Amino acid sequence: MERTLVLLKPDAVSTRICGKVIARFEEAGFTIIGCKMITLTPELLREHYAHIADKPFYPDVEAFMSSTPVIAMVLEADGIIATMRDMLGVTDCLQAAPGTIRAELGNKEPGKSKMYNVVHASDSPEAAQAEVRRFFVESELFAY
Ligand code: ADP
């Protein structure tokens, strides 16, 4: 069994589509083993997005990701890390394949860099392990 870390981003929370997104996860057969609402601090975001923290667009990402609380989840299934990334689609929702969450529910103005792409999910087993630990302690995860 594999675990992945998911964040339902502020665009999902503020437009009230979290239920729709979670329904897709449940329909895909993923098991929710952890779930909580949290506000992302600048410090936590800098750690989580260390790979983009020096990019010119990073201040926009930080402002967006802390604009409302997010829903953090740990989901479990065989092969979930890759399957989840496939379900999400690529980072830019305008480039995401039809049928993916980001293509159907994301928002971006053509030619502008700000993007509202609904969900974060870990992109590798190494990232998943680090990210689950970053957002959850073991007692917040449930085996059932
Ligand atoms: P992903 O979320 O698909 O794993 P990254 O880890 O590369 O993508 O980027 C993290 C987040 O930063 C993206 O989800 C998006 O919100 C934002 N982002 C990434 N690249 C850009 C960009 N070129 N312009 C604006 N925002 C970006």
pLDDT at 52 over 90: yes
CATH of domain 2-140: 3.30.70.141
Name all residues whose Cβ lies below 6 A of ligand 1.
49, 52, 57, 61, 91, 113, 115, 117, 120, 123
φ, ψ of residue 5 to 5 degrees: the values are: -100, 130
Q: Which residues are catalytic?
A: 120
Average of pLDDT values for 10-19?
98
Q: What is the DSSP letter of 139?
A: G
Domain boundaries, the chain: 2-140
Which residue's alpha carbon is nearest to atom 22 within ligand 1?
113
pTM of the model: 0.97
Which residue's alpha carbon is nearest to atom 19 within ligand 1?
91
- pLDDT per residue as tens digits for the range 56-99: 999 999 999 999 999 999 999 999 999 999 999 999 999 999 99
48 Cα–ligand 1 center, Å: 12
Q: How is 20-83 classified by DSSP, letter by letter?
A: HHHHHHHHTTPEEEEEEEEPPPHHHHHHHTTTTTTSTTHHHHHHHHTSS-EEEEEEEETTHHHH
